[in-house]
């Protein structure tokens, strides 16, 4: 780590839809099927009916780590681990309507 020759995976991914679907078909076909069958209308009902059956796995593990072609790009901007919750209170206090959302769930 002291060498500085490592990058932090900030969880920011960019891809063409066709590329993502190709990789999903290869490594998580049930995810590809869910995406390909997603309706133009009635998305909420489709999600309610099918989302819970999808594998509980992040895109990092499901797709990115198994992808055949991946490029890493260095980003030079400040970053915080928003999802970790440690910093979310600071954002919520500064700009509550722009950055904060409350959930009744356990996420």
- Summarised one tens digit per residue, pLDDT across range 20-64 is 999 999 999 999 999 999 999 999 999 999 999 999 999 989 998
Domain-wise residue ranges, the chain? 17-99
Other residues' Cβ atoms within 10 Å of the Cβ of residue 31: 20
The most confident of 42-51, 76-85, 91-100, by mean pLDDT: 42-51
CA-CA distance, 2 to 29, in Å (whole number)? 39
pLDDT > 70 fraction of the chain, expressed in percent and rounded: 73
Contact yes or no for 27/66 (Cβ under 8 A): yes
**What's the confidence (pLDDT) of residue 107?**
42
CA-CA distance, 9 to 107, in Å (whole number)? 21
CA-CA distance, 6 to 23, in Å (whole number)? 25
Instruction: Report the chain's C-alpha Rg in angstroms.
Output: 17
**What's the confidence (pLDDT) of residue 53?**
94
**What's the confidence (pLDDT) of residue 84?**
56
């Amino acid at each position: 780590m002291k060498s500085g020759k490592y990058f932090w995976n900030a969880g920011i991914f960019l891809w063409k839809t066709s590329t993502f679907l190709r990789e999903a078909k290869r490594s998580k076909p049930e995810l590809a099927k869910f995406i390909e069958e997603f309706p133009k209308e009635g998305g909420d009902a489709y999600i309610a009916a099918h989302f819970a059956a999808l594998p509980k796995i992040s895109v990092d593990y499901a797709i990115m780590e198994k992808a055949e072609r991946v490029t890493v790009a260095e980003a030079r901007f400040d970053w915080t681990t928003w999802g970790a919750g440690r910093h979310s209170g600071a954002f919520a206090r500064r700009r509550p309507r722009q950055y904060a959302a409350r959930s009744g769930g356990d996420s």
